[in-house]
Amino acid sequence: MLDSDMYIPTYKDMLEAHARIQPHIRRTPVRVSDYLNELTGAELFFKCENFQEPGAFKVRGAANAVFGLDDEQAKKGVATHSSGNHASCLSYAAMKRGIPCNVVMPRTAPQAKKDTVRRYGGKITECEPSTTSREATFAEVQAATGGDFVHPYNDHRVIAGQGTCSKEFIEQTDGLDMVVAPIGGGGMISGTCLTLSTLAPETQVIAAEPEQADDAYRSFKAGHIIADDAPKTIADGLLVPLKERTWHFVSNHVSEIYTASEQEIIDAMKLTWKHLRVVMEPSSAVPLATVLKNPDAFKGKRVGLIITGGNVDLDKLPWLATARNTQNTISDRG
């Protein structure tokens, strides 16, 4: 249930965010693949947010929050908790403005994401890989630093910023029947709903989620938030639960949530690396995995898929682990 005093961002907020952040983000390209169109029976358009400078869409919401602070607020900097991409994007935006950034990250977060945070000047405090630990550790960090809390997704400034992605997407494709995006906490999905419900109300918003972290799917079916504390999936950017603001958008504007298994996510990731020739992280492959799994829902449609990020540890690609396990099994049998 939404608190009466909780501000929900508007389409006007999204337009103001786009004007505010344009000097600090990239208008990312849209890619297509004849092979993937033939494979799915749909006309697919991939919005490449992995081409943002910090490697993820979250720079949009982070930049909107950071550059929306007045000078007095900005002196103490910003702070957040994140599994990686929001942390790196907030650090990047803070670096661009010249203010401090403190982030709490799970100790299990990919090393590539930790390295990116530090490269942009963010200070990391590690926590255990659970929502409970993240929030408790963050409370200590914020009390010590006094930085403005920029929540990874349950923040009206962040949601408005994420909504700018779909504005560009619609402009770049001359309209879409559906837009599919990954869902974890729901920041990107909320921004997508915010924008499309006004700009292109005929476009359906579809959320895609890992089977092993399917709390949004179960929430959607139950009609209320169901939060898992510490799900485990290779899609490490989708480990957190919905919150009140994002649930508002999901419950009112999302048409459907589809899920994909770990192997289906890996297979889709490989397909896009091979046929789109772009680097994407597992979370970004979940939309294509769900399209492949549910062909009848997308066949004959113009479908936009948001590649949310490309920050991966190249030494720990999921199919390399599978190959090593297979080789070890063969060796054991020998």
Burial class, 130, CB count within 10 angstroms (exposed 0-12 / middle 13-18 / buried 19+): middle
Instruction: Please choose, from the candidates 74, 76, 47, 56, the residue with its C-alpha nearest in 3D space to the C-alpha of residue 116.
Output: 56
pLDDT digits (tens, 9 = 90+) for 182-221: 999 999 999 999 999 999 999 999 999 999 999 999 999 9
Handedness of CA 59, 64, 69, 71 (dihedral sign): positive
pLDDT higher than threshold 80 for residue 2: no
Whether the per-residue pLDDT at 285 is higher than 90: the answer is yes
Residue with the larger pLDDT of the pair 236 and 92? 92
User: For residue 12, is pLDDT > 60?
Assistant: yes
Residue, of 48 and 134, whose pLDDT is higher: 48
**Is the distance from CB of 80 to CB of 150 less than 8 angstroms?**
yes
Tell the residue number behind the tokens 């997704």, with chain if given.
153
Mean pLDDT over 102-107 rounds to: 94
Q: Does the pLDDT at position 1 exceed 50? A: no
Residues 45-86 pLDDT 10s: 999 999 999 999 999 999 999 999 999 999 999 999 987 889
Q: How many CB atoms lie within 10 A of CB 275?
A: 14
What residues contact residue 101 under an 8 Å CB cut-off, 6+ apart? Answer: 77, 78, 79, 80, 90, 91, 94, 95, 120, 121, 122, 123, 147
pLDDT value at 10 more than 90: yes
pLDDT at residue 327 greater than cutoff 50: no
- Give the percent of the chain with pLDDT over 70: 94
Per-residue pLDDT tens digits for 117-128:
999 999 999 999
